[in-house]
Amino acid sequence: MGARERIEGAVSFLRVPRWLTLPSPSPRPSPQGEGIRGVALDQTNAPLLFQRGKRCSLSLGERARVRGNDAQNNAPAQNPAWTPDHDAPSKAFTTLGHFWPRIAQMAVVVLMLVFAIASFAEQRFPPPEFESGYALPETKTPPPRTLPFQYVDVAVLLGALVLASYLVLKKRSRNGVLALSIFSVVYFGFYRKGCVCAIGSIQNIALGLFDSSYAVPWVVTAFFIAPLAFALFAGRSFCAAVCPHGALQDLMLWKPVKVPAWLEQGLGVLPFAYLGAAVLLAATGSAFIICEYDPFVPLFRMNGSHAMLLAGVAFLLAAMFVGRPYCRFLCPYGALLRLASCVSKWRVTVTPDSCNRCRLCEEACPFGAIEEPTTAPTHWLALIGDRKRLAWLLALVPALMLAGGWFGSQLSIAASQLNPTVALAERFSLQAKTPVELGVQTAESLALMRAAQDPKALISQALEIRRNFRLGGWLFGGWLGLAVGAKLISLAVRRSRHDYEPNRASCFACARCFSSCPNERVRLGLMRRELPGSPAPQPAPAAAHTPN
């Protein structure tokens, strides 16, 4: 930071000359602010500065004198430029009426300055006219790397989705899925550096819906819509082998341990909470938390903050023993895909043949997605019990939503701190109440200086955002209550299932279980039909099947 101290001498210029010190927040950085400084400098030194040719060759002494003059001017103006007016802005947070006289005053001064600047030369040092035939170097503008990729990315995405669906539903090939996973990790991950992905696109869409000034790039829209549309027909083929995040975790899987059902179900609410929070923060224009806390993108980039790199490594280590931890317990896009997959037209089947109930597939699934056969109660007494429980739970949902909403609204003020504008307004009004000397030219003090230029606008903006957060807090909490309620209901409803089959929502369509099924192996000709001790399977067809 030695250099920073060096620059501090120069920063003494920053102090506005006394004759310019306004009673209200003194502006620095806006164009007008620049003007104030420019004029202050130019007026004291105009004759020197504008002697053509000689202007830059001021002797060091002259420069020092220029600086000295200014320093003298400024010495008494101890009040650093950013220090906001001590009472008005804090009041402005509650009453915004105090400002008009000051603003009018400022406006007059600014207007005068604008005229003053216009009458001076536009540049302090007009560009020279060279006599030696010197050609100006051109300012290079290397084109963005994304430019040629925008169509390629979407084409590859669609192609990979079609291929993944085909490999899972029709070809039923684990090796194919594996190969496609490797491709996706390499292309979407390491080559395209994981940005933009379907998971993050949720935020762009949310921001696009709530902020009409934000235009969603069509590539992002395609990344959001395509996997969901595919999930409505083919289940989570996106997760199977297209999503680089999922594929990376899947490839790391080594010795999966079984997660207890209660934990799995309990943690299963997290993605919905994360989804809600991400949408809330994106819609209010506060932050893109999915991107900020994405554990895998830093790995794809081999670059990033140490904390996130560590988180990525930790997730990968966990993924060796717990199948796809991010997908199951965090991924907000996975939450959407779950919902879509519940109503998909076709579904993943362990085998197109009938089930032997040998439970081999259950062992094969590293994600605990295969459910055992159950019979729904048929006796009326049991049915009544079930119905009653369901009725209670249905009645509980609105209560949960209300409670969640209240809870969310309580949190909303704290959450609004995540919005940079609100955070700045808070700091600004705090600074106004209890001024703290921040030293010269930290990013903080610069931000406060910017705030000081137009505190009224900043604060009303912050209040507006906070109002949005209060509403958003209710909605977020309600959503959370709904997610919990729906989870409880889904646990309470007993469905009759004849076979072992993958749960529509939680199956990642990884195709691992297929070859564990003896009937499937027979069908593929990998095994003879008659198994000792197993009931004879039905005659196996060669290839044709219809998963449904």
Partner 1 sequence: MDVKPPNPPPVSRRQFLRDGSRAAALTGLGGLLGVLGTRSTSATTVWQIDPSKCLRCDRCATHCVLEQSAVKCVHAHAICGYCQLCTGYFVPEPSELNTGAENQLCPTAAIKRTFVEDPYYEYVIDEQLCIGCAKCVEGCNRFGNGSLFLQIRHDRCVNCNECSIAQVCPGDAFRRVAVQHPYLLKTTSH
Residues that bind ligand SF4 (CB under 6 A): 198-199, 239, 243, 245-246, 324, 326-327, 331, 333-334, 337, 348, 364-365, 367, 369-370, 502, 507-513
Tell whether residue 276 is a contact of partner 1 (CB under 8 A). Answer: no
Q: Can you say how many angstroms the Cα of residue 408 is from the centroid of all Cα atoms in its chain?
A: 20
* 29 versus 377: smaller Cβ distance to ligand SF4: 29
Tell whether residue 134 is a contact of partner 1 (CB under 8 A). Answer: yes
* 220 versus 280: smaller Cβ distance to partner 1: 220
The least CB distance from residue 309 to partner 1, in Å, is 11
Tell whether residue 6 is a contact of partner 1 (CB under 8 A). Answer: yes
The least CB distance from residue 239 to partner 1, in Å, is 17
Q: Which of the 8 DSSP states describes residue 158? A: H
Tell whether residue 182 is a contact of partner 1 (CB under 8 A). Answer: no
Q: Which does 150 bind (CB under 5 to 8 A by kind): ligand SF4, partner 1, none?
A: partner 1
The least CB distance from residue 388 to partner 1, in Å, is 21
Q: Which residues pair with 371 in a beta bridge?
A: 501
Instruction: Give ∠ CA 148-149-151 in degrees, rounded to 5.
Output: 100
The one among 75, 195, 317, 436 contacting partner 1 by CB under 8 A: 195
Q: Which stretch binds partner 1 (CB under 8 A): 163-171, 257-265, 300-308, 385-393?
A: 300-308
> Which residues, 6+ apart, have CB-to-CB distance to 114 below 8 Å?
32, 35
Interface positions, 47-66, toward partner 1 (CB under 8 A): 53-58, 60, 63-64
The type of residue at 401 is M
493 CB neighbour count, 10 Å cutoff: 12
Asked if 80 and 11 count as a contact pair (C-beta separation under 8 A), the reply is: no
Q: Which does 365 bind (CB under 5 to 8 A by kind): ligand SF4, partner 1, none?
A: ligand SF4
Q: Which does 243 bind (CB under 5 to 8 A by kind): partner 1, ligand SF4, none?
A: ligand SF4
Provide the token pair at 348. Answer: 């993943």
Q: Which stretch binds partner 1 (CB under 8 A): 156-164, 248-256, 262-270, 539-547?
A: 539-547
Tell me phi and psi for residue 497, to 5 degrees.
Answer: -130, 130
Using CA of residue 239, residue 244, residue 245, residue 246, what is the dihedral sign? Answer: positive
Interface positions, 323-352, toward partner 1 (CB under 8 A): 339-340, 342-345, 352
Q: By rule CB under 8 A, what string of x and - marks binding of each residue 25-44 to partner 1?
A: ----x-x--xx-xx--x---
> Using H for helix, E for strand and C for coil, what is the string for 291-358?
HHCCCCHHHHHCCCCHHHHHHHHHHHHHHHHCCCHHHHHCCHHHHHHHHHHHCCCCCCCCCCCCCCCC
* 227 versus 485: smaller Cβ distance to partner 1: 227
Burial letters for 498-531: b for 16+ Cβ neighbours within 10 Å, e otherwise? ebbbbbbbbbbbbbbbbbbbbbbbbbbeeeebeb
Distance CA 226, CA 499 (A): 31
How many of the chain's residues bind partner 1 (CB under 8 A)? 106
> Using H for helix, E for strand and C for coil, what is the string for 130-145?
CCCCCCCCCCCCCCCC
Provide the token pair at 363. Answer: 């062992």
Residue nearest to ligand SF4 (CB): 246
The least CB distance from residue 499 to partner 1, in Å, is 8
Tell me phi and psi for residue 502, to 5 degrees.
Answer: -65, 140
Tell whether residue 232 is a contact of partner 1 (CB under 8 A). Answer: yes
Q: Which does 128 bind (CB under 5 to 8 A by kind): ligand SF4, partner 1, none?
A: partner 1
The one among 67, 389, 433, 497 contacting partner 1 by CB under 8 A: 67
* 345 versus 528: smaller Cβ distance to partner 1: 345
* 178 versus 509: smaller Cβ distance to partner 1: 509
